[in-house]
């Protein structure tokens, strides 16, 4: 139930998502939750992916990663 009193239903996959999330955290893995329409800099994107900014740009230049502006 939201603050305004309206009810929301959650997707059936939500319990599985939380199970995987908490299992990963328990194993010491890091996690990031990002909105679909989030706009990140190349530095932010590289940090989230755990790679260098230069490697991220090279992936883009070789057509392995799409970067939009």
Q: What is the mean pLDDT of each run of 10 residues along the chain (69 residues)?
A: 76 88 93 87 93 96 89
Asked if residue 38 belongs to a domain, the reply is yes
Q: How many domains does the chain have?
A: 1
pLDDT of residue 43: 96
pTM for this structure? 0.59
In a domain, 44, yes or no: yes
pLDDT at 32: 83
Backbone angles phi, psi at 63, to 5 degrees: 75, 15
Q: Which residues contact 65 (CB under 8 A, 6 or more apart)?
A: 56, 59
In a domain, 39, yes or no: yes
3-state DSSP assignment of residue 51: coil
The reported pLDDT for the residue numbered 60 is 95
Cα first-last separation, the chain: 36
Structural domain including 54 reads 14-61
Residue 6 inside a domain? The answer is: no
| pLDDT for position 1 | 57
């Amino acid at each position: 139930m939201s603050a305004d009193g309206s009810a929301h239903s959650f997707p059936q996959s939500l319990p599985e998502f939380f199970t995987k999330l908490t299992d990963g955290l328990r194993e010491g893995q890091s996690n990031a939750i990002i909105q679909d329409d989030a706009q990140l800099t190349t530095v932010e994107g590289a940090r989230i992916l755990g790679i260098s900014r230069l490697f991220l740009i090279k992936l883009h230049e070789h057509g392995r990663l799409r970067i939009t502006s």
